[in-house]
Amino acid sequence: DQQVKQNSPSLSVQEGRISILNCDYTNSMFDYFLWYKKYPAEGPTFLISISSIKDKNEDGRFTVFLNKSAKHLSLHIVPSQPGDSAVYFCAASGGYGGSQGNLIFGKGTKLSVKP
Amino acid sequence: NAGVTQTPKFQVLKTGQSMTLQCAQDMNHNSMYWYRQDPGMGLRLIYYSASEGTTDKGEVPNGYNVSRLNKREFSLRLESAAPSQTSVYFCASRTYIAGNTIYFGEGSWLTVV
């Protein structure tokens, strides 16, 4: 039973346009959400996060939106650049202690930004 | 600052062989993790160590053992490798002070033939 779902395995966007990556979750106990970016042959790197007490967090070209009622979050990249081409993983956790503090990852979305 | 370091980066094993993946972090993090990544499956947690001296099973622990040697090091052992364990393995670490962000190593590519 997938608790974190990324229903789009891939996304192709033109350079300069907006990329929107989506993520849905089922566990209402999740209170912290993260996005990781992964290039081939490298480890995932942290991109941006959001706490459940917020509905938006922005960092440069990257903005994460959280809709708790819909159990949905999205990552917006504006403007998209060819260097953004990577696999993006959504992750969630509930609390800091014990197993509920562990991150649960989605299956990832491969973003391709075309020049 | 090396962060999270994993060795080896590449390994080919024969079915039934054993091996240990080593991981060390220099960020003084309390918690350490081993994930595996398979095509179309995302990152799945194998084992974790919330703090030095403790280890717990994650989502896919079968066929693996771990050792939290000290605060810096967390190893993953395959006692009798199987083709189903062909995967990319990532070690990660985290400190609660920094919230729930975990930091990954560069990965270890393991092929079992």
Share of chain B above pLDDT 90, in %: 78
Taking CA–CA distances from A4, the nearest residue in chain B reads B42
Task: Work out whether the CA dihedral B49, A52, B105, B14 comes out positive or negative.
Answer: positive
Share of chain A above pLDDT 90, in %: 79
Taking CA–CA distances from A10, the nearest residue in chain B reads B40
A46 touches chain B (CB under 8 A): yes
From B96's Cα to the closest Cα of chain A, the distance in A is: 7
From B87's Cα to the closest Cα of chain A, the distance in A is: 12
Residue B40 Rama label (left phi>0; alpha psi -120 to 50; beta) = left
Which of A97, A102, A105 is nearest residue B42 as measured by Cβ atoms? Answer: A105
How far apart, in whole angstroms, are the C-alpha atoms of residue A109 and residue B40? 10
Tell if the CB–CB gap between B107 and A43 is shorter than 8 Å.
yes
Q: What is the dihedral of CA A3, A70, A38, A101, to 10 degrees?
A: -50
Across A14-18, average pLDDT: 97
Over residues A83-115, the pLDDT tens digits come to 999 999 999 987 655 566 788 999 999 999 999
Cα A22 from chain centre: 7
- Residue A39: count other Cβ atoms within 10 Å of its Cβ: 12
Size of interface A-B (CB pairs under 8 A): 56
